[in-house]
Amino acid sequence: MEHLSNATAAPIERIQENLIARVERRILNRLCAVMPGWVTPDMLTFTGMFGAVLVFAGYLASNLDAGWLWLSIAGYVVHWFGDSLDGSLARFRKIERPRYGYFLDHSCDGFATMLVVVGIGLSAYVELEVALIALAGYLLMSIHAFLSVRVLGELRLSYLNAGPTELRLILIGLTLTMLIAGRENPIIWQLNGFDLFVGGTGLLLIVLFVVQTFSTARRLAKEEPAVHRHRD
């Protein structure tokens, strides 16, 4: 989500190095220019949330028929539209509300992520326990991003050249694979290929959190060296 520019009075440096950032920015700028005046950033934020609900519903209904996975794919598109455009529109119209936007945006982001990942775990293709590992990894990285805003004044929107949009594209690809391949047989420990992919992604995020935590702590230690006071 991009509903913010600042969370505090001090300027926040936005770090976005994902692969398609420039192309996406051009698309968002064009959409902002043609957006009707009655459309507000808040409306787009809740449009994104509605998209997450569609994703959840599609995965849940896939237990009845695989065709419902198309609803999840459509939900990802709706979620991208609202989630990526809300803050862009606020900045385009110069009507940012930094603290309000930061709070609302990341609150909705956390809830939307929960809907998407739990939906995957409740589908006919991935075990819920495996999906929860991915959810834990994503939330840990979110915590790291929020802490970095406080201690470094940096809001990192991408890691390993991937951001929210790339993640959605990966999940759309995963969902299309579910449609094509159908339910897979277990490969190891009763886990199928979808389980291994989702669980592996979650473990990667957890490892990335540990690495980033040590890296940031080392940086802060250099910037704030320990001061030893001598007793008289």
In-domain check, residue 229: no
In-domain check, residue 1: no
Residue 34 confidence (pLDDT) = 92
In-domain check, residue 3: no
Number of domains into which the chain is organized: 1
Structural domain harbouring 108: 13-223
In-domain check, residue 231: no
In-domain check, residue 232: no
Say how far apart CA 148 and CA 193 lie, in whole Å.
34
In-domain check, residue 204: yes
Residue 220 confidence (pLDDT) = 87
pTM, whole model, 2 decimals? 0.84
Residue 11 confidence (pLDDT) = 53
In-domain check, residue 5: no
Three-class SS of the chain: CCCCCCCCCCCCEEECCCCCHHHHHHHHHHHHHHCCCCCCHHHHHHHHHHHHHHHHHHHHHCCCCHHHHHHHHHHHHHHHHHHHHHHHHHHHCCCCCHHHHHHHHHHHHHHHHHHHHHHHHCCCCCCHHHHHHHHHHHHHHHHHHHHHHHHHCEEECCECCECHHHHHHHHHHHHHHHHHHCCCCCCECCECHHHHHHHHHHHHHHHHHHHHHHHHHHHHHHHCCCCCCCCC
Number of Cα atoms under 13 Å in the Cβ half of residue 156: 19
Residue 15 confidence (pLDDT) = 59
Domain CATH for 73: 1.20.120.1760
Q: Give me the average pLDDT of each 10-residue run along the chain (232 residues).
A: 42 60 84 92 94 97 95 96 89 86 88 95 93 94 85 67 81 94 79 92 93 89 73 55
In-domain check, residue 132: yes
Structure tokens at 134: 């991915």
